[in-house]
């Protein structure tokens, strides 16, 4: 194995193996495809796409990395793409995000989830608040942000930033996913699709 392969960020490989281990049919697509542009600004890098071939409202995952610096550890985000027809009007933009309330800042245990939303997100936020599985998903894995998309991609993005580590790493720390968590993600996706009807 050469040095380039040794130091390559294997976050996508690790998530792919986890998803496969819980019975999902998925594949790592070739690099450089257009789907890598989903929520990928110039100062971040896509690590590639995982396509979901199993029956799912989520069709693919884009793994994004922001390289760290001396005082700023690297960060990773996972964007779960949920295609569905959405309005082209920016006035119809929907955003809902979880705020993990801890018993003590930074290192405390997460006690509950508070859902923040914009003017169009109240309906979804109310449903998320009442759903114990969706709340458990954020408590266990990390912050969640749901957005409607209206330009290059029509549908919703479920953004998940797995629990962070304070130490610089080559691969994203704390990546995990079990069947109940995957089902909760798909429940969010289903509610997003229903929100457009």
Task: Give me the tens of pLDDT residue by residue for the chain, a chain 197 residues long.
Answer: 687 777 888 999 999 999 999 999 999 999 999 888 877 777 789 999 999 999 999 999 999 998 877 777 888 899 999 999 888 888 889 999 999 887 666 566 778 899 999 999 999 999 999 999 999 999 999 899 999 988 778 999 999 987 666 556 777 777 889 999 999 999 999 999 999 87
Model pLDDT for residues 89-132, shown as the tens digit of each residue: 888 899 999 998 876 665 667 788 999 999 999 999 999 999 99
Encoded tokens for 33: 């495809």
| Burial class (CB within 10 angstroms; exposed 0-12, middle 13-18, buried 19+) of 13 | middle
**Rounded alpha-carbon distances, angstroms, from residue 31 to 16, 49, 84, 133, 171:** 15, 8, 24, 34, 18
How far is it, in rounded angstroms, from Cα 67 to Cα 74? 5
Give the closest residue to 80 by CA, choosing from 178, 174, 186.
186
pLDDT for 158 equals: 96
Q: What is the DSSP string of 112-152?
A: EEEEEE-TT-HHHHHHHHH-HHHHHHHHHHEEEEEEEE-SS
pTM: 0.90
Give residue 1's pLDDT: 65
Q: Tens digits of per-residue pLDDT, 70-81?
A: 777 888 899 999
Find tokens 């920016």 and name the residue: 90
| Confidence (pLDDT) at 107 | 62
Give the strand order in the sheet containing 75-83. 26-28, 45-52, 60-66, 75-83, 155-162, 142-149, 95-102, 110-117
Give Cβ neighbours of residue 85 (< 8 Å, ≥ 6 apart).
154, 155, 196
pLDDT of residue 104: 65
Q: How many angstroms separate the CA atoms of 58 and 62, rounded? A: 11
């Amino acid at each position: 194995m050469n040095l380039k392969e040794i130091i390559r960020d294997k976050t996508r490989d690790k998530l792919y193996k986890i998803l496969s281990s819980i019975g999902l049919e998925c594949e790592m697509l070739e690099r450089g495809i257009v789907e890598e542009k989903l929520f990928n600004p110039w100062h971040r890098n896509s690590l590639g796409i995982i396509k979901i071939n199993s029956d799912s409202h989520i069709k693919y995952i884009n793994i994004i990395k922001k390289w760290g610096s001396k005082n700023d550890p690297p960060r990773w985000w996972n964007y779960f793409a949920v295609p569905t027809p959405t309005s082209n009007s920016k006035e119809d933009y929907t955003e809902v995000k979880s705020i993990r309330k801890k018993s003590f800042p930074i290192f405390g245990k997460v006690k509950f989830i508070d859902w923040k939303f914009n003017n169009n997100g109240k309906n979804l936020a109310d449903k998320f608040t009442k759903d114990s599985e969706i709340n458990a998903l954020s408590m266990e894995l990390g912050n969640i942000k749901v957005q409607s998309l209206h330009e290059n991609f029509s549908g919703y993005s479920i953004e998940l930033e797995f629990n962070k580590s304070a130490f610089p790493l080559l691969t994203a720390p704390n990546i995990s996913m079990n069947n109940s968590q995957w089902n909760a993600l798909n429940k969010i996706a289903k509610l997003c699709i229903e929100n457009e009807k």
